[in-house]
Amino acid sequence: MLGPLLALTLLNAATAGEPPAESAISPAIVALEDLSRADRQRIDRYNLCGMLVRAQAKQPGGAMHEWDVAISEFWRDDRPVAAVEAAAFAYDRRPDDRVVRAPLAEMRFEVEGAGEPVTARMLDGPNVDGGMIGELATAMAEQVFDALDAGTSVRVDLTFVNDRRETIVLRTRRSVLGFWGRFPHGRAAPVRACLAKLAPATQPFGPTRRDPHRG
ω into residue 200 within 30 of 0, thus cis?
A: no
User: For the chain, which domains are there?
Assistant: 12-195 (2.60.40)
**DSSP string covering 80-95:** EEEEEEEEEEEESS-G
Q: Is the pLDDT of residue 32 over 90?
A: no
Mean residue pLDDT of the chain comes to 79
- The whole-number pLDDT of residue 44 equals 84
At 162-194, the pLDDT tens digits run: 999 999 999 987 654 444 444 446 555 688 889
Please give the Cα distance from 30 to 170 (Å, whole number). 6
What letter would DSSP give residue 13? Answer: G
Q: What is the pLDDT of residues 128-149, one digit of tens each?
A: 778 899 999 999 999 999 999 8
Q: How far apart are CA 1 and CA 170, in angstroms?
A: 19
| Range in 37-46, 138-147, 171-180, 199-208 the model is least confident about | 171-180
Say whether 143 sits in a helix, a strand or coil. Answer: helix
pTM, rounded to two decimals: 0.79
Tens of pLDDT, residue by residue over 90-129, are 998 787 888 999 999 999 999 999 889 999 989 998 887 7
